[in-house]
């Protein structure tokens, strides 16, 4: 007889592609997990995983069985959610993924308050790039992501939270320091410091500033940062400028190194994202409410500017 435990074990093995790691994540010994996977294979009469490969990979039959196992486990989880919703209990585990250009500025604003309000919710937060969040949502190793939309991904549901302005951060002695606002066509691509590949904010900057060929010839050295804060520190010492999201700018509220664009307000749309299989709708609503209450009120107004796309 197939058990839910066996289904949990094969989905974990598919996710981590390693028996020891899958066993650790399931809080069992490796022999226990291996035995149950083998027992399920004998029950079904097929081999689910190719153990000759490293990392372990599912067979063609195994891929289909694992996919159905994920559906069964997700549907089973809905039973507890229905009971909790009926009794108005806010409990359970919530696994959240945030992208690096959002996490350091948004997480401190809402996470502590959310946990205090809903102490029975186990909050697990991870900082990962957009593509990884999408992958983890589909694999059910994350419940929700907080990232920049639109994604144009039919597997993902988007719940817009707020809209933050894209601002200019420049060296204190840069010529633009004397101007109250800056026109987009005045941005010199050769002086723009950028985040590294894989960051959606990099793509937004390139799209908005219409940077066709990235050429940092007027900068002292070539560098692609992993964080907004690193870019700002480099600019403070080496010159040039970059674009930063509004929440990052709030930490430098009195800085004269931050400028807006003239005649246009570029925005990035920040959303909660999840898949249609996600059952914890009550938690999503509470999380969204907590986040929206934690950011400045004007960030909730989409009408104040134009959303900049980052993905074609």
- Render pLDDT for 181-212 as a digit per residue (tens, 0 to 9): 899 988 888 888 999 888 999 999 988 888 76
Q: What pLDDT is recorded for position 92?
A: 79
Within 13 Å of residue 21, how many CA atoms lie on the same side as its CB?
A: 10
- Decide if 159 contacts 128 (C-beta within 8 A): no
Domain 85-161+269-305 has CATH 3.30.1300.10: no
Q: What pLDDT is recorded for position 189?
A: 85
Residue spans of the chain under pLDDT 70: 80-91, 212-217, 253-254, 277-279
Q: What pLDDT is recorded for position 82?
A: 66
Cα–Cα distances in Å, from 73 out to 76, 77, 81, 134? 5, 6, 13, 19
What does the DSSP 8-state code read for residue 173? T
- Decide if 133 contacts 144 (C-beta within 8 A): no
Q: Is 96 helix (H, G, I), strand (E, B) or coil?
A: strand
Q: What pLDDT is recorded for position 87?
A: 47
Strands 92-98 and 57-58: unpaired
Beta bridge partners of 195: 225
Contacts of 167 (CB under 8 A, 6+ apart): 243, 244, 245, 246, 249, 258, 259, 260
- Decide if 47 contacts 6 (C-beta within 8 A): no
Q: Looking at the domain that runs over 4-80, which CATH code has it been given? A: 1.10.10.10
Contacts of 13 (CB under 8 A, 6+ apart): 19, 22, 33, 37, 49, 56
**Strand ranges for the chain from DSSP E:** 49-50, 57-58, 92-98, 121-127, 144-149, 156-170, 181-182, 194-195, 224-225, 241-245, 258-261, 266-275, 306-307
Which residue carries 């107004």 as its tokens? 301
Chain segment 71-110, per-residue pLDDT in tens: 888 778 777 666 665 445 556 788 999 999 999 999 999 9
Q: Is 264 helix (H, G, I), strand (E, B) or coil?
A: coil
Residue ranges per domain, the chain?
4-80, 85-161+269-305, 163-267
> Which of these, 183, 195, 188, lies nearest to 261 by C-alpha position?
183
> Which of these, 11, 70, 16, 73, lies nearest to 36 by C-alpha position?
11
> Which of these, 62, 63, 67, lies nearest to 44 by C-alpha position?
62
Q: Is 140 helix (H, G, I), strand (E, B) or coil?
A: coil
Same fold across 4-80 and 163-267: no
What does the DSSP 8-state code read for residue 192? B
Strands 258-261 and 181-182: parallel
Domain 163-267 has CATH 3.40.190.10: yes
Q: What pLDDT is recorded for position 54?
A: 86
């Amino acid at each position: 007889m197939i058990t839910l435990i066996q289904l949990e074990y094969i989905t974990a093995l598919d996710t981590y592609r390693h028996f020891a790691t899958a066993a650790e994540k399931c809080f069992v010994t490796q022999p226990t997990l291996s035995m149950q996977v083998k027992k399920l294979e004998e029950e079904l009469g097929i081999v689910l995983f190719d153990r000759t490969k490293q990392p372990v990979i599912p067979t063609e039959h195994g891929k289909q069985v694992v996919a159905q196992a994920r559906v069964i486990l997700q549907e089973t989880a809905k039973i507890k959610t229905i009971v909790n919703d009926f009794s108005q209990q806010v409990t359970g585990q919530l696994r959240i993924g945030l992208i690096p250009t959002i996490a350091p500025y948004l997480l401190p604003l809402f996470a502590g308050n959310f946990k205090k309000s809903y102490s029975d919710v186990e909050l697990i937060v991870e900082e990962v790039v957009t593509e990884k969040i999408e992958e983890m949502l589909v694999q059910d190793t994350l419940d929700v992501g907080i990232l920049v939309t639109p994604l144009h991904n039919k597997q993902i549901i988007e719940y817009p939270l707020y809209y933050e302005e894209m601002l200019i951060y420049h060296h204190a002695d840069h010529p633009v320091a004397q101007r109250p606002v800056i026109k987009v066509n005045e941005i010199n691509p050769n002086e723009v410091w950028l985040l590294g590949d894989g960051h959606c904010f990099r793509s937004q900057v390139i799209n908005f500033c219409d940077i066709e060929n990235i050429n940092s010839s007027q900068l002292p050295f070539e560098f692609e940062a992993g964080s907004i804060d690193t870019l700002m520190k480099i600019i403070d010492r080496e010159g040039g400028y970059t674009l930063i999201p509004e929440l990052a700018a709030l930490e430098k509220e009195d800085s004269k190194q931050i400028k807006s664009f003239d005649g246009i307000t570029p925005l990035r749309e920040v959303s909660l994202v999840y898949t249609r299989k996600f059952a914890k709708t009550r938690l999503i609503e509470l999380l969204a409410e907590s986040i929206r209450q934690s950011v400045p009120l004007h960030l909730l107004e989409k009408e104040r500017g134009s959303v900049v796309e980052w993905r074609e």
